[in-house]
Amino acid sequence: MGRLDNKVAIITGAGSGFGRATSILFAKEGAKVVVADWIAKGGEETVRMIKEDGGEAIFIKIDVSKTEDVRKMIKTTIDTYGKLDILHNNAGVVGQLAPLHQITEEQWNRVISINLTGVWLGMKYAIPEMVKKGGGTIINTASVGGIIRVPNTPTDYHVSKAGVIMLTKVAAVEFANRNIRVNCICPSHSLTPLVENAVRGNKEAINEFNQRAPMGRMATPEEIAQAALFLASEESSSFITGEALVVDGGYTVAGRGKQVVIR
């Protein structure tokens, strides 16, 4: 028996990185997974991987910052599976590194709309369906960048992830009496496509990222997925809500290292 047997889970940003690893893990644990992503190729590949492993999944193309896309995602889930048990708001972008006064309004709005507004929209349209069925679980992907200043990390990213943490806490209190648990995960550096694209094969940068945490390495996407499974499982976390679960190898406790210069 899996920990998520008979559960229906939506995971956004599921075409790669944390989202893909979590989708595959949730399916292995018995969940029917709605794989949501802006890039169809990645999302469809995640679905293929789940099905090849004996799991059940469908793909929905979505821009999490667009109201109609989010409403369609929720409706398709209900139409297909009849309910929604778990929402994992995972989709996000990093943005472009620049001094605060040089960030354009377009850049700022893009990061905030995807990373923060997208989480709010997901909850806004998922919660009524969870209330109807008597409860549910929401997991939001925040970041250690929502807690501390991380070198070489854009201002708008920091602000968006801090907003996700507070949005998580507010929602947790507001819906605790409706049997809806709301938590978030705060990962540190992990070798996902976002990080790989940023360092572009720079071995010095990768080594520096590895050395920032006392454990001496970055997380794997699978380790972050295990944290999501912990928060999704009633067996593991039935009395946990409003939590910002830090998964960082000790970085926020005793972060070390120099600025990473990516050329």
The C-alpha atoms of residue 251 and residue 230 are separated, in whole angstroms, by 21
Query: How many residues make up the chain in this entry?
Result: 263
Give counts: helices (H), strands (E), the chain: 11, 7
Among 81, 125, 157, 251, the one annotated catalytic: 157
- Angle, to 10 degrees, between the axis of helix 17-28 and the axis of helix 221-232? 50
157 noted as active-site residue: yes
Find, among 143, 223, 216, 137, the residue nearest to 180 by Cα. Answer: 137
Residue pointed to by tokens 């139409």:
79
The C-alpha atoms of residue 235 and residue 4 are separated, in whole angstroms, by 9
Query: Are 170 and 119 spatial neighbours (Cβ–Cβ below 8 Å)?
Result: no
Dihedrals phi, psi of 195, to nearest 5 degrees: -70, -40
Find, among 88, 93, 203, the residue nearest to 145 by Cα. Answer: 93
Binning the chain into helix, strand and coil, the percentages to the nearest 5 are 50, 15, 35
The C-alpha atoms of residue 98 and residue 83 are separated, in whole angstroms, by 43
Query: Are 179 and 219 spatial neighbours (Cβ–Cβ below 8 Å)?
Result: no
By annotation, the residues acting in catalysis are 157
